[in-house]
Chains A and B, each alone.
Chain A
Amino acid sequence: MKILITLIPLFPLFGFLFLGAGFRSLPRRIVSVTGPGTILASFLLTLILFFDFQRNGIPQIHLIFNWLTVGPLAIGFEFLTDPLSLLMMLIVTGVGFLIHWYSVGYMKDDPGYNRFFAHMNLFVFFMLLLVMGANYLIMFIGWEGVGLCSYLLIGFWFRNQDYNNAAKKAFIMNRIGDLGFLLGMFLLFTTFGSLNFREIFEKATPMEAGEPVMVAITLLLFIGAVGKSAQIPLYTWLPDAMAGPTPVSALIHAATMVTAGVYMVARSNILYVLSPVTQIVMGSVALATAIFAASIALFQNDIKKILAYSTISQLGYMFAALSVGAFTGAMFHLTTHAFFKALLFLGAGSVIHALGGEQDIRKMGGLRKNMPATWWTFLIATLAISGIPPLSGFFSKDEILIHALDHSAWMWFILFIGALMTAFYMFRLLWLTFFGAFRGTDDQRHHLHESPGVMTVPLILLAILTAFGGFMNIPGIFGGNSLLAQFLAPVFAGSKYHPMPVTGISHATEWMIMGITLVAVIAVIAWSYHHFVKREKGFLPDQVHRNFLVNLISQKYYVDELYELIIVKPLLWLSTILHRIIEVGFIDRIVNSFGNLVIRTGNTLRFIQTGNVGFYMFIMILGIILMLFLNILI
């Protein structure tokens, strides 16, 4: 069993080493097999592990080797198998494999084919470390590693300076969060004397809620989650991260890496329920992000940017669920979101592929007939994210909404508005892309084609998961027995505040809420159909007259410009000043004066070289005599 667990992350690592070592010379056929193959192997092993766990389900810590032993700090390289990590492992390897498979078709003509798969495999390795680690340090290795891979893959087409800047932006913003995570880890160690999950949670369980140290720890860890999971105020890297190839956006910036923050909070649930302050902060940030990002998505025109803002917004939903203690709801939404958002991104990739790189939805249209497989799968994913039953998004979003209502009506209302916005921008995307007349160039129209099977088969498999993924956690109101909640229950059992099942809300209210949401969403969809398809609006160029609010939103609230003004500019200014005074005037002068000293000494001493051989010999003999004397003296 231990070997099996060790092999799960090792397969992608070996894949990376193999592909990375021979990344120019390997023939494409071998890369096409190795790249997805290693992930498939990991997935199969994870399945074996999962079914084994189902039979004798005891969470276990597997110590691979003793890693660090310094004084009281003893950290083992240890992996944890419990329901939460198994769920994440299944998502990472399963969805990861489908995306790798799809990439074989999508990246076919790219000169960096081998490099792409090497980096993708490395990403899966680090992501597995993140979710499998049994202490915060292993998690942190994965946490940093996925950030690195994200950087490498956003800047995959590194000849474009804009893409490089996007990569740097993502990396730097993540570093701000990582600093929080690191400080949180230090504080955890000084408080509990360990970084091991089990030891920390055991010591934390009897603590009283609201202790300052717990507030500090959870807030610092949450800063890490804010950076990694693109919440306000550190979200601006994610839309820019769309510079990477589309499968990267699907795997890293939708399905797995950005959900690491959610996983981390869910993993640390025992700590978070001890700190009401953090939960309020987290809830506020989550609600603001959910609605803010959704509103930006309303007026974006880049197909991938819309999906990126949608991802930010959906992550806000997950954090909202975490903040009210609905950990299962968050993990459920994380799972279904991984399915449908990966599907949406891959579908968008298929569209972009067919249009030869076009990403502006105003220049698409009518693709329904030319790309049936993409259209049907995209429709399923759009319905799922909008929350139409019985697709997966309905169940997970409904669970979050119910828990929000249980917490406060305002919270529910904001998330409800967010859900309506989600339906609107997703259907706007759908109508503009697949309905109406084609608005691209004649050349593009000529080349319109459905993607090859290697791309559509993963789409169809993901569509099946999207359609039926919700059935893994049917709530009691539908006569289901919340399988996922039961599966995850042991992980969240230690939390003092754990509202499962919902207590404060009757079934009648629940039905009513569901009905209201559903009717409103369908109304929004109908209106958007009327607006975008019947009246053919929404694909006008930018210069059309717009009122102030629309303009503000379509410019993304000028947040990037604001950050530029209040952070980047002053920082550059300060750097320039420091460069002039400290660097040039001080450090450079010290270093240069050493150099000058050497030059001057050399200039003086070189006159010893008279060129007179007799003199040289005299000096030599004098030296030898001196040495002999010294030898005698000493």
Chain B
Amino acid sequence: MTTMTAIPIDYYLIFCSILFCTGVIGVLIKRNALVILMSIELMINSINLLLAAFAAYTNDPAGQIFVFFIMVVAAAEVAIGLAIIVLIYRTTHSIDIHVLNKLKW
């Protein structure tokens, strides 16, 4: 706890916001599905970090426990996401999302 008090909570907030925005921008501008997935992971982890930071700040261990849960869920979600990307690659020989525009009006 002593170390936490050394770094103010504002720093965590700013850092996590930067991480999160990086993720958002990555999702928006990248065409590679794998990179988009990584960007999403970045967003999740920025939130995780923020949760842990707040938990330490308010002295409430529940937040930190939640982080573990979220990591488990994120791992499962990534497994599914990757499996989908593998399947997409097998059928289209590409993981460029601009190729995936068949599902429209």
Contact A621 B27 (CB under 8 A): yes
Q: From A624, which residue of chain B is reached at the shortest CB distance?
A: B24
Interface residue from B24, B31, B36, B105 paired with A621 (Cβ < 8 Å): B24
- Docked CA distance A614–B28 (Å): 6
Binds B, one of A350-358, A544-552, A604-612: A604-612
Contact A617 B27 (CB under 8 A): yes
Contact A614 B97 (CB under 8 A): yes
Contact A609 B24 (CB under 8 A): no
Would you give the shortest CB distance from A133 to chain B, in whole angstroms?
66
- Docked CA distance A617–B37 (Å): 12
Q: From A613, which residue of chain B is reached at the shortest CB distance?
A: B97
Contact B31 A614 (CB under 8 A): yes
Of B36, B102, B104, most buried by chain A (CB within 10 Å of CB) is: B104
Q: From A606, which residue of chain B is reached at the shortest CB distance?
A: B105
Contact B101 A612 (CB under 8 A): yes
B1 at the binding interface (Cβ < 8 Å): no
Would you give the shortest CB distance from A474 to chain B, in whole angstroms?
93
Q: From A607, which residue of chain B is reached at the shortest CB distance?
A: B105
Contact A612 B98 (CB under 8 A): yes
Q: Point out the residues of chain B lying under 8 angstroms from A606, CB to CB.
A: 105
- Docked CA distance A614–B97 (Å): 7
Q: From A625, which residue of chain B is reached at the shortest CB distance?
A: B24
Of B31, B36, B100, B105, most buried by chain A (CB within 10 Å of CB) is: B105
B7 at the binding interface (Cβ < 8 Å): no
Contact-residue bracket for chain A: 10 to 19
Q: From B30, which residue of chain A is reached at the shortest CB distance?
A: A614
Judged by DSSP, the binding face of A is helix
- Docked CA distance A607–B101 (Å): 13
Contact B98 A614 (CB under 8 A): yes
- Docked CA distance A621–B28 (Å): 9
- Docked CA distance A329–B105 (Å): 83
Would you give the shortest CB distance from B3 to chain A, in whole angstroms?
32
A51 at the binding interface (Cβ < 8 Å): no
Q: Point out the residues of chain A lying under 8 angstroms from B104, CB to CB.
A: 609-612
A618 at the binding interface (Cβ < 8 Å): yes
B103 at the binding interface (Cβ < 8 Å): yes
Contact A611 B28 (CB under 8 A): no
Query: Of residues 585 to 634 in A, which have CB atoms within 8 Å of B's CB atoms?
Result: 606-607, 609-614, 617-618, 621
Q: Point out the residues of chain B lying under 8 angstroms from A611, CB to CB.
A: 100-105
Query: Of residues 24 to 60 in B, which have CB atoms within 8 Å of A's CB atoms?
Result: 24, 27-28, 31, 36
Contact B101 A617 (CB under 8 A): no
- Docked CA distance A618–B28 (Å): 6
Interface residue from B27, B36, B97, B101 paired with A610 (Cβ < 8 Å): B101
- Docked CA distance A618–B105 (Å): 18
Query: Given known contacts A617-B27, A617-B28, A621-B28, is B105 in contact with A609 (CB within 8 Å)?
Result: yes
- Docked CA distance A617–B26 (Å): 11
- Docked CA distance A610–B100 (Å): 11
- Docked CA distance A606–B102 (Å): 14
Contact A613 B100 (CB under 8 A): yes
Would you give the shortest CB distance from A397 to chain B, in whole angstroms?
85
- Docked CA distance A621–B29 (Å): 12
Q: Point out the residues of chain B lying under 8 angstroms from A610, CB to CB.
A: 101, 104
- Docked CA distance A614–B24 (Å): 12
Would you give the shortest CB distance from A276 to chain B, in whole angstroms?
81
Query: Of residues 489 to 536 in A, which have CB atoms within 8 Å of B's CB atoms?
Result: none
Q: From B97, which residue of chain A is reached at the shortest CB distance?
A: A613
Name 16 interchain pairs, CB-CB below 8 A, sorted by A.
A606-B105, A609-B103, A609-B105, A610-B101, A610-B104, A611-B100, A611-B101, A611-B102, A611-B105, A612-B101, A613-B100, A614-B97, A614-B98, A617-B36, A618-B28, A621-B24
Residues of chain A whose beta carbon lies under 8 Å from any beta carbon of chain B: 606-607, 609-614, 617-618, 621
Known: A614-B28, A614-B31. 15 other contacts (CB 8 A): A607-B105, A609-B103, A609-B105, A610-B104, A611-B100, A611-B102, A612-B98, A612-B101, A612-B104, A613-B97, A613-B98, A614-B97, A617-B28, A621-B24, A621-B27
